[in-house]
Every structure is written in structure tokens, then in C-alpha cells.
Amino acid sequence: MFDLHNKHILITGGAGSFGKACAQYLLQNYAPQRLVIFNRDELKQHEMRLEGLNHPSLRYSIGDVRDFGSLRRAMDEVNVVIHTAALKHVPACEKNPMEAIKTNIDGSANVIGAAIDAHVERVIALSTDKAVNPINLYGATKLVAEKLFVHANTPRARYPICVSAVRYGNVFGSSGSVVPLFRRQRKSGVITITDPRMTRFCLTQERAVQFVIQSLERMEGGEIFVPKIPSMRILDLAEAIAPGCKIEISGIRPWEKLHEVLLSEDEARHTIEIDDSFVIAPMHPGGEGASQSAKTKTSEGLHYTSEKNSEWTTVSELRNLIGESAFGGELKNTAIVES
């Protein structure tokens, strides 16, 4: 088990919703010697300071994952990199495909290259359920990024680096969430849903951060970690946020799926199962030894999809998770941060 205490840690996209929550968690639980918040938005970094993130170990670094030089300089003496930077708004990626490729694919390659050059010990990257059998560009770029991070372990004899990824579903409170959209729409009394049959995997920001840190501590290199998390129905989410509102069906968009997949049947053949998660073993030559082989292999034919999940969030649970009252009003003092 890798010890994260007193390390030098860098978070790409560190001023985003996940990055802020992750920084708070690390400061409270691991006392890093240095925690570098690396991203390109100086306003978000300023807002982090205003929110009280002014710990002596914090360093704010302006840079872009598209720029190898700025990444490499920021990684000097860094032990651990948590890669969260991405363009993730699906319609925006569809309309600006080269921008998505430059950030999500080229940026990931830069993170790997800079980490190898800087002799970083561990790198973990955030992925998405949309990377499984992707039908939109965002999912396709994250699939390629997953492959890059898995493959980055092949030169380990020369560069002692350990690289893995985590893959999970929708996070309450993350940027681009449908939650703020529904909150805006309820003022008019009408909620727009593309398809009432739609289901999604969901988890809290706190659970996402804890899972990433847990995976970072136990990774051996080349794995993709998949948490066991509940599903939600889009109609239940609408009821949780805007009870009594009229629902208009706009029709599913070309880049949307009715249901999401966290683990495909083909991947399940080289996946092991532990209490709270699945671990997809690397498929590259020589990667079989990094698969935590002592654990239980998944059953043949496993297909972990949002519509066939055994665990579901109820309307009341959704209200608690997103800080809503039973009357559709936003609760104050909620821990969920919208950005």
C-alpha cells in the first residue's frame, strides 16, 4: 500500500469542482508537504483562495495540460499526479472536436511524458462511463486517454513510474451537471427531459474523491478502477428537484445514450472484483502481472450497466444528496458545490 502522507502532489485541473474537493480531502487527511493546484483559469484559483484554501503547503500554478513545458516545470520534485483536467461538456466537444482532442488526448500524453521526465512515482487519471463503447467525441477522447495511461506502464524497467485510471459515472455538484439546469427550469414550471427512460450511474463528490485516493494507494500500474455505485432514473432526479413541474420530452440527442456502461462484457473477462469495486487488468504485453491477481475474477458475462444495477437512489435520497427540499427549493448550507 502506497503511503500518501507528506508527499508532493500535483492536481491538474485542480481548481475545478473535483480538484477543490480533492485538495480539501488531502489537506485534511494526508498533510502533503506541497500540493500544487495546476490549471489555466486564474479566476478559479483566486476563488479557491477566497473560499479559504490558503494552506501553507498549497501552491497555485497557472498552466495548461496542452503545454508540455509548463507541465514539466510544475512537476519538479512532485511524487504524485492526479490528472483531472479535461474538456467534458459533451455538446461543446461535439462542436469543437479538435479542442477536445488537444486537451483530453494530447494533454493526457503531455501529463504522462512530463511525469516520466520528472521521475514522478504515481499518476492516476479520471475517466468516465462514457469511455465504454463511446458514441460521442468526449467518450472517445477519454477512451483514448485510458489507453494512454494503461500503456504508460510498459517502459517501467527504465522509468519507475506507476500509472492507472479510475472510471465512474455522474458526480453531483460537478460542472456541467444537469442539476443546475433543472433548478433554472423549475422557475418556469416546465422541466425538459430528452427521454424519460434514461438512467445514469451517480455518486457524490466525496465518494468520488475517496475512491480516487483509495485507488491511488493500492494501484500497481495499468489498472482501470471502477467503483460499485448506485444508479438513478432521470425522472426521479426531476421529481427530486422540481416536484409538480410539467415535464416536456425533447427527444434523445445524437450524442446521448439511454443508459451508461461502467464495465463491458468484453472487459469483464480480464477484470477482478473486490468489495467496493472492479479492477480492469491491463491488456498490454507484459501487463498481466499488474492485475492484483490474488482477488476474485468476475463472472463470465458480467455487464455493469446503469439500467440493470442492483442499487438505486430514491427520490428522497436524491434530494438529500443535492440539497433540495421536498418542495423544490434549494437548501442552504449544503455541502454540494456547483461550479
List 130, 142, 228, 257, catalytic entry: 130
| Ranges of H-type helices in 133-204 | 137-151, 178-185
- With 0-12 CB in 10 A as exposed, 13-18 as middle and 19+ as buried, what is 284? middle
Q: Distance between CA 277 and CA 289 in Å, rounded?
A: 19
CA distance 115 to 80: 9
DSSP state of 244: T
Q: Residue 183 has which C-alpha cell?
A: 433548478
How many Å from the N-terminal Cα to the C-terminal Cα in the chain? 34
Closest CA to 212 of 292, 147, 122: 122
Beta strand 271-274 pairing with 277-280: antiparallel
Clarify whether 228 is annotated catalytic.
no
Q: Which residues are catalytic?
A: 130
